[in-house]
Amino acid sequence: MSATAAVSDKAVDALLEKLEREAEASGYRLNPDREFARELVRSLLLNQERYGYWACPCRLAAGVKAEDLDIICPCDYRDADLNEFGACFCALYVSAEVAAGERPAASIPERRPPAAARRAARADGSLATPAGRLPLPVWRCKVCGYLCAREEPPGVCPICKAKKERFERFI
């Protein structure tokens, strides 16, 4: 496709290898179909050029980072989809069974709420639980669920490598 010509094969392979290393180190797996994974990584790099971040290739990005944070790869929905369907929405990440070739990765239903519901959720930013008298706030990585108690979230999630902006105040 002409729209993908702007990204070099070298850049695609370099990122694919990096993602593979990081996935393996933290217990995740990339799609074993190498060409399939390469196409997705190419689209991530294309979206990096278009939007400035890795918007999920299989979802419509708003082009405004604050509205697309939940679909920056790895997305907030990946882990739930891995558990339920054996693959994330685009199927870049897959379960152990799919990685081992025991079942195929397939197109799955969309877990991300529609735009109107996301707008409503953003407007209602209240905490579900009271802070109480904890000595420190607790931060939750919205990608993998990692929790930590400290003044601020870490710059990068030590488990899944998601950036600081993907953390929410949990308690």
Cβ-based neighbours of 135, under 8 Å, separated by 6 or more? 149
What is the rounded CA–CA span in Å between residue 44 and residue 49? 9
Q: What is the closest distance, in whole angstroms, from the C-beta atom of residue 111 to other proteins in the complex?
A: 9
> b/e map of 31-59 (b: 16 or more CB within 10 Å)?
bebeebbbbbbbbbbbbeeebebbbbbbb
Q: What is the closest distance, in whole angstroms, from the C-beta atom of residue 34 to other proteins in the complex?
A: 13
Q: What is the closest distance, in whole angstroms, from the C-beta atom of residue 67 to other proteins in the complex?
A: 13
- CA dihedral sign of residues 36, 43, 70, 169: positive
Instruction: Return the number of the residue (88 or 143) whose C-beta is nearest other proteins.
Output: 88
Cβ atoms 30, 37 nearer than 8 A:
yes
List residues near other proteins by CB under 8 A. 1, 3-4, 36, 39-40, 43, 46-47, 57-61, 90-91, 106-110, 112, 114-115
Q: What is the closest distance, in whole angstroms, from the C-beta atom of residue 18 to other proteins in the complex?
A: 19
Task: Write the DSSP assignment of 140-155 as a string of letters.
Answer: EETTT--EEESSS--S
Q: What is the closest distance, in whole angstroms, from the C-beta atom of residue 97 to other proteins in the complex?
A: 20
Instruction: Return the number of the residue (50 or 163) whose C-beta is nearest other proteins.
Output: 50
Instruction: Return the number of the residue (40 or 157) whose C-beta is nearest other proteins.
Output: 40
Any idea which residue has 């196409």 for tokens? 39
Instruction: Return the number of the residue (60 or 131) whose C-beta is nearest other proteins.
Output: 60
Instruction: Return the number of the residue (6 or 127) whose C-beta is nearest other proteins.
Output: 6
